[in-house]
Chain A
Amino acid sequence: FSPLPLVLNTWPFKNATDAAWRTLVSGGTAVDAVENGCAVCETERCEGTVGFGGSPDEVGETTLDAMIMDGATMNVGAVGDLRRIKNAIGVARRVLDHTTHTLLVGDSATNFAESMGFTVEDLSTTTSKSLHSEWASKNCQPNFWRRVTPDPSKYCGPYKPSGSLEWAISAHKQVDIHNHD
């Protein structure tokens, strides 16, 4: 008895799994299922690790990365550092379907998304603004800088290169079940 079809996803994001499954049951392709499953997480924000309003960067902006791969054709569509567009996996799907490229990034990816009909909007929320304010009030701790001055383990930037070879902070301590790729 075949266990297929199969939907498997990282972390206990049940609604995403369910959405992918329902896509398959209703006649969708594997690529459709991946797109719809991930899109649910972008809407629900899946513990703050997916979609808008989570993981602000050093200047408080939320940016999104997404990718979709078709194993039949080895076609890939992806976006990195996507700004001001909520449905990153949808944009990745458009890259896959409507271009011969693999990865679009930054503002140019946003422009592409807008041309594909996606709405440009602010991705910050009260929560992400609060997270960023709290981080800034703690002298920008933790951060991902090293070998710069002023000492990034104590002070905010802007930073310049320094001659020190010491690791100020271990990145291992900053990435966990609530903060990951």
Chain B
Amino acid sequence: TIGMVVIHKTGHVAAGTSTNGLKFKIPGRVGDSPIPGAGAYAEDMIGAAAATGDGDILMRFLPSYQAVEYMRRGDHPTTACQKVIAKIQKYFPKFFGAIICANVMGSYGAACNKHPTFTQFSFMVYNSLRIQPTEEKVDCI
């Protein structure tokens, strides 16, 4: 899956996802990716977020919507992402998932749920301070 967040220089915000889902899913199964607020969410004046992982779990928590709401209340994108992961952890400690968050000021962050096979999450960043796309990593929590 790819989840993408774009903040235009005017402050206009958009987000999106594209995926072929899980291997060997039951035919007809749809994950979180095409669900607004789950796979991704965007709101001008606030920011945007996109989630990735086990869509059957993620979609139950509307993580992208929740992250944007945290940012609306003033949380830094990193904090917003971490709060979302922490919420899901309470119910599914071993879930596979990560989220990226960005606000209209251009700040961004990411978070992921740590388990033995997933300790770091890689994501890509490109902004006006860089001359090329840059891979960044966060330690899962």
Contacts and interface: CB of A to CB of B under 8 A. Distances in A.
Contacts of B126: 6-8, 17-18, 20-21
Given A14-B135, A71-B15, A181 B43 contact: no
A58 B26 contact: yes
Given A67-B36, A102-B36, A145 B1 contact: no
Given A29-B8, A181-B39, A89 B102 contact: no
Contacts of B107: 3
B7 interface: yes
Contacts of A170: 94
A120 B123 CA distance: 32
Interface string A1-38: 11111111111111011101100100001110111011
Interface in A133-181: 135, 140, 142-145, 170-172, 174-177, 179-181
The size class of the interface chain A forms with chain B is 35 or more
B123 A10 contact: yes
Interface residues of B, number: 77
Which of B1, B41, B52 has the most chain A CB atoms inside 10 A of its CB?
Answer: B1
Contact of A103 (B34, B44, B105, B106): B34
Which of A10, A63, A145 has the most chain B CB atoms inside 10 A of its CB?
Answer: A10
Interface string B118-141: 100011111111001101000000
23 contacts: A2-B9, A3-B106, A3-B107, A5-B9, A6-B102, A8-B123, A8-B124, A13-B124, A17-B124, A24-B8, A30-B6, A38-B18, A48-B20, A55-B22, A56-B24, A57-B29, A66-B18, A70-B14, A102-B36, A172-B95, A181-B1, A181-B19, A181-B52
